[in-house]
Amino acid sequence: MGAVTSTVAARFAFFPPSPPSYGVEQPPQPPAPAAPEPAPAAKAGEEKGGGGGGAVVELTGVPRRGNVEARRLRTKRGTEVVAMHVRQAGAKLTLLYSHGNAADLGQMYELFVELSAHLNVNLMGYDYSGYGQSTGKPSEQNTYADIEAVYRCLIETYGAAEDNIILYGQSVGSGPTLDLASRLTRLRAVVLHSPILSGLRVMYPVKHTYWFDIYKNIDKIPLVRCPVLVIHGTADEVVDCSHGRSLWELAEVKYEPLWIKGGNHCNLELYPEYIKHLKKFVGAIERSPPPPPIDESTKSSGPSGRTPMEPECSAEDSRKSTDCRDKTRPSIDQRHSTDRREKPRGSTDRRDKTRKSVDHPDKPRASVDQSDRPRKSIDRYCFTLPT
């Protein structure tokens, strides 16, 4: 069975840039003053940030900035991923960004720095296993372990709180983003940028979810209880816009989506409405109250109803309030994976017969991974960013 899953993943394909667009080196160490021999724990390389924060490294091949720090983080699957943290003075929210395919931190570096500044957020980006200077090989399960290691670093090293974190997933990155979002109970918000319903649905117009499929986002998004923003280009030839529309329809708490007319899979940042809408969303989230603390006594009480403040939402243009929260979900360490079902079942698409089918394309689509190109700096585009 694992061979079938591997075959689907191979057809879906990961394309890490080769060679990587950046390097890593150890930061210069200041001369050590004469002092007693440090304790063993201190000699183990617990650089600033403490035990779970990994080793601080310097990125080479990119401009050095005082507000950017890079680290090597070990995952529970034994790989080491490189992550970069952009600190924005006075920021209240943190964006955890999972990039698309055929890109690495060196190519995303300037975009991350500028998004942090323009959105007034701290930002954490990382390379999947096998990408850039991260060790190991790319795989679905590795990306899940990768984002979890980065998330824990945000909490343990940088002092971020779950209810002040926004997960951002672009294209393939929508897979690890929704997997983590489906397991967190107090996440602040989610952004899906050109997302996929599942790996198999990118290639073939299937109407069922099969056990050997990968990145089953279609099954995980109903488990997300925080506001979800979807951004997709209407002329996307790699991942049809119907993927984004269907995911938005399945979201429990919808935020006004952004369908960029004429936008394709790799150029949405070129459009002025991209950064304008993203700033509007982040502002709305920052003004909304964080989700309430979890009441342990209500975890087994079954689904709760929607709050009276939550507006009804049509599939065209309305949205659910960003202030609403629903029932709690299993914690990050207690959930049952949605990736272990053994036989085909009816897709969640069929629950609403009025919904446009996600299987509309008449022929298999090109691999999502072959068209993801490196992102350019948003300040190089021919539009003026709003202040």
- Catalytic residue annotation: 171, 236, 265
Distance of CA 162 to the CA centre of its chain: 14
* Contact assessment for residue 8 and residue 213, using Cβ atoms and an 8 Å cutoff: yes
- Round to whole Å and give the CA distance between 92 and 254: 22
- Round to whole Å and give the CA distance between 321 and 319: 6
What is the CA angle 161-162-163, rounded to 5?
90
Q: Spell out the residues 6+ positions from residue 249 whose beta carbon is closer than 8 angstroms to its own.
A: 315, 352, 355
Distances (CA, A) of 270 to 93, 230, 385: 24, 17, 11
Handedness of CA 356, 311, 165, 337 (dihedral sign): negative
- Round to whole Å and give the CA distance between 143 and 130: 10
**Considering only CA atoms, which of 160, 155, 146 is closest in space to residue 88?**
160
What is the CA angle 109-114-116, rounded to 5?
100
Q: Dihedral angle at the C-alpha atoms of 148, 203, 356, 261, nearest 10 degrees?
A: 80
Q: Spell out the residues 6+ positions from residue 386 whose beta carbon is closer than 8 angstroms to its own.
A: 275, 276, 279
